[in-house]
Amino acid sequence: MNSFKDRGGLIGFGHYAPQRRVANAEIEQDLGLEEGWIERRTGIRARRYVAPDQALTDIALPAAQMAIEDSGIDPSKIGLTLLATSTPDHLLPPSAPLLVHKLGLPNSGGIDMAGACAGFLYALAMADAYAKTQGIAVLVVAANILSRRINPEERASRVLFADAAGAVVVTPPTQDGQGILASDLASDGAYYDLIKISGGGSRNPYRPDMDPNEYLMSLKGGQTVFAKAVNTLTDSAMKILDKAGLKPSDVDHWAPHQANARIIQAVGTNLGINTGKTLMTLGEYGNSSAATIPFSLSKCREERSYKPGDKLLLSAIGAGFVSGSLLIGM
């Protein structure tokens, strides 16, 4: 257990994955793909889907509870809860206030942040700043139920997406070198239409004759997405390392968004980051969008430890071509 008094920055980690494991064979059979097709192209062997009665706050809750318990702080010290999600319980109201209520946090505000796959990084950047300026703890949760947004007939989305949640507790630094050391947050709306759910917003509101597929994920321009993702993540990481006066070899742990093994391998090669430093949960848990980074940070801690002074590099890019890199000091 950690203590708010002698630790600062990221002091608690939590994760949750639903019980239902969906192996590649099930999807390959449905889509008429040869055995091994999905893993060769994505690195994914399986993914988790929620039960029919589970909603977003149901999977966010255990991840958040685990992070709070791991932090060792009094829950009353948490003054803000940020929930990064693209699949809230409802379009209105936001889901974060319900999560705060279920957690029993007496002094916490709560708000959703919709930044797609990079949403956790944006929420973490806000949490770090708020913790430092207000002197309070912030709970950051990322969770998604993408299995209900998959078009079962569209190969591109069905082979990738999954359901999961991850969480961290952020507190004011107690010494130099803790928390966010450098950051780069960006977006490129020129690629806005390549990854989207077109129906349900103000531009394409509900109509009685609406095609149900308009409420499901659509992915286009695979090669464009791949090239843009690799270049953006490489340049962003180098930018913040240079800003911090560090080299890729100074990174102790790299937690990339778990989108596709080919993207992760290409960026890792460009950066020259040893594969042993790369946190990977993609193979067994798939792509749960914003949840993948906090999920991996928590899940991989079962096999590795984050020591004081360690440098963590976090990288993500997703729909809307919202992207970001954060350098974290432990």
How far is residue 144's CA from residue 173's CA, in Å, rounded to a whole number? 29
Q: What is the pLDDT of residue 5?
A: 47
Contact indicator for 81, 131 with CB cutoff of 8 Å: no
- Within a 10 A sphere around the Cβ of 79, how many other Cβ atoms? 17
Give the single-character DSSP code of 161.
B
Ordered by start, the domain boundaries in the chain are 9-171, 179-329
- Strands, DSSP E only, in 199-305? 218-219, 253-256
Residue 33 DSSP label = P
For residue 311 the two structure tokens come to 């440098």
Q: What is the CATH number of domain 179-329?
A: 3.40.47.10
Locate 3 and state its tokens: 């203590």
Superfamily of segment(s) 9-171: Thiolase/Chalcone synthase (3.40.47.10)
- Both tokens of 127, joined, read 């949490």
State the pLDDT at residue 194: 87
330: Cβ contacts below 8 Å, ≥ 6 apart: 9, 10, 178, 306, 307, 308, 309, 310, 311, 312
Query: What's the predicted TM-score (pTM) here?
Result: 0.95
| Residue-level pLDDT at 1 | 39
CB atoms within 10 A of CB 292: 30
Backbone angles phi, psi at 174, to 5 degrees: -105, -10
Residue pair 327/246 in contact (Cβ under 8 Å)? The answer is: yes
d(CA 263, CA 53): 34
- SS3 label, residue 42: helix
Closest among 118, 158, 122 to 319, alpha carbons compared: 118
Whether the domain at 9-171 and the domain at 179-329 fall into the same CATH topology: yes
Q: Residue 306's pLDDT is what? A: 93
What's the chain's Rg over C-alpha atoms? 19
Cite the active site residues.
117, 257, 287
Residues of the chain with pLDDT under 50: 1-5
